[in-house]
Amino acid sequence: MDSGMHDSEPIITTRNLTRRFDGLTAVDHLDLAVGRGEIFGLLGPDGAGKTTTLRMLAGLMDPQEGEARIAGMDTAKSGDRLRDVIGYMAQRFGLYPDLTVEENLAFYADLFGVGRDEYRMRTERLLDMTRMAEFRGRQAGRLSGGMKQKLALMCALLHRPQVLLLDEPTNGVDPVSRRDFWAILYDLVREGVTVLVTTAYLDEAERCNRVGLMHKGRLIWCDTPAAARRAPTETCFAVECTDRAKGREVLRTAPGVACVEPFGDRLHLFLDEKTGSVGDLTRRLNETGLGPARFERIEPSLEDVFILLIRKSEAPA
């Protein structure tokens, strides 16, 4: 997939977008630009502000400061015109469990004012695209998790939106269904749809053209997944010692250590080699009875890098 934002005018922009709840700033002066035909991933831990951002983009919630625009429209002021342009899939999408797949689609077509001929054409196309044709007569409540998500996606696509806003669409879905879901998203992007997806899965971040990392309402990093791997100036090591939890405590405050986190049965550690050394860290572990300690230089994963970026954003300036 190509990497940077497409050259054309961005189709989604936010400027100083801010939303607070009871004194807590859920989204904090967010500036974002997503190009046409891009898959943009919004990543971050729970409570980072991803869902609130999506709800403001979908026009379901007004910002208290700043603005969001989709296809040139102010999302807080455009109502039905905005709904014609976007497809929004919430974490708990409103499917009717007693209605069949086809009846759910018909209901959403009605809601969006999709004409009968257009509806027939679109439905066949979507059932084909999602490989759901054989389940058209099955009640939504009797579908697997992955199939429910595909049905929700079809309902969001019936009126041919230009922009698709997906809030953790594959959360709790099995790996095969997740892969299918992403194959469908790629097909949509080839047809010119722009996708903004929030996800907690880092393997899904790898599939995006660009990724924005949110933490405590702020966008702390934004670029391609490849650029993320090159972001750290520190060296990444896998560390083995006899007690991982104690080892982390000993290493956390050592000179040069930017971040140290458990990873499987080892620790992953980022070290600024200008201010700290492996020799010193090895000595610390051995002297506190956690030896024999082993340090192995490794290529950091996207997860390693994002944890490092979050830790750095939390560090006192």
Give the count of beta carbons closer than 10 Å to the beta carbon of residue 119.
18
Taking each helix axis from N to C end, the angle separating 101-111 and 145-157, rounded to the nearest 10 degrees, works out to 30
Tell me what pLDDT residue 200 has: 83
Query: Mean pLDDT, consecutive 10-residue segments, the chain of 317 residues?
Result: 56 97 94 96 92 96 96 93 93 88 94 91 91 94 91 92 94 87 92 93 91 95 92 95 95 95 95 96 95 94 92 83
Tell me what pLDDT residue 5 has: 53
- Give 24-70 pLDDT, tens digit per residue: 999 999 999 999 999 999 999 888 999 999 999 999 999 999 999 99
Tokens encoding 52: 């609130």
Ordered by where they begin, the domains of the chain are 12-227 (3.40.50.300), 233-299 (3.30.70.100)
Asked if residues 13 and 32 have their Cβ atoms less than 8 Å apart, the reply is: yes
Tell me what pLDDT residue 316 has: 76
Tokens encoding 243: 């007690």
Is the pTM value of this prediction over 0.75?
yes
The backbone region for 89, taken as left when phi is positive above 0, alpha when psi lies in -120 to 50, beta otherwise, is beta
Tell me what pLDDT residue 23 has: 85
